[in-house]
Amino acid sequence: MKHPFHNVRETSAKVYAQIRDEGLLADQSFQVFESFCINGQMTARENDLHCGVGDRKLGRSLQPTIHHLVKIGVLRECGKRQCEVTKRLVTVYEVTGNLPTAVGEEKRPDRPTLVAALRQLEDVLAFWDLHHGHGDTPNELIKMARWLRQKLT
């Protein structure tokens, strides 16, 4: 099957279609991902230009989006080379052919778990101070743990 992308593998083109059809990426993330599918290996700055992002001096860059796409597994670092835009030796990225994975969606501990952990931290700090520290453990640290626990209860 021929795909419209000149610089990606067949599996990457299939993954592209699935990501597009199922809406697996937010708009900006999909725009960056699509740019890599169309253009192949690029630096972050080269991608900025392909995506129509203005001058980096104005604080606009898609590099955080690229890092997110690396983190979720749809892009990967594939080496270093001189960037055509900056003329510096920088990281080059490419499409992996993988679907995005859920990263950073760790469940936040519930209140009782946090309270128990802080109570345990208070106990450990007090024990250390009593048996080992001879007053070396900052009293402020113990107070902070106690204050946090009280705020959560």
Residue 80 tokens read as 């270093």
How many whole angstroms separate alpha carbon 5 and alpha carbon 7? 6
Q: Please give the C-alpha separations between residue 58 and each of 53, 55, 125, in angstroms, as whole numbers.
A: 10, 6, 47
CB 44 within 8 A of CB 92: no
Radius of gyration of the chain (CA): 24
- Residue spans of the domains in the chain: they are 10-95, 111-152
**Does the global pTM surpass 0.85?**
no
* Identity of the residue numbered 92: V
10-95 CATH pick, 1.10.490.20, 3.40.190.10, 2.60.40.10, 1.10.10.10 = 1.10.10.10
pLDDT tens profile 99-151: 898 754 445 667 787 778 777 877 777 777 766 665 555 666 667 777 777 77
| pLDDT tens for each residue of 61-110 | 888 999 999 999 999 999 999 999 889 999 999 999 898 987 544 456 67
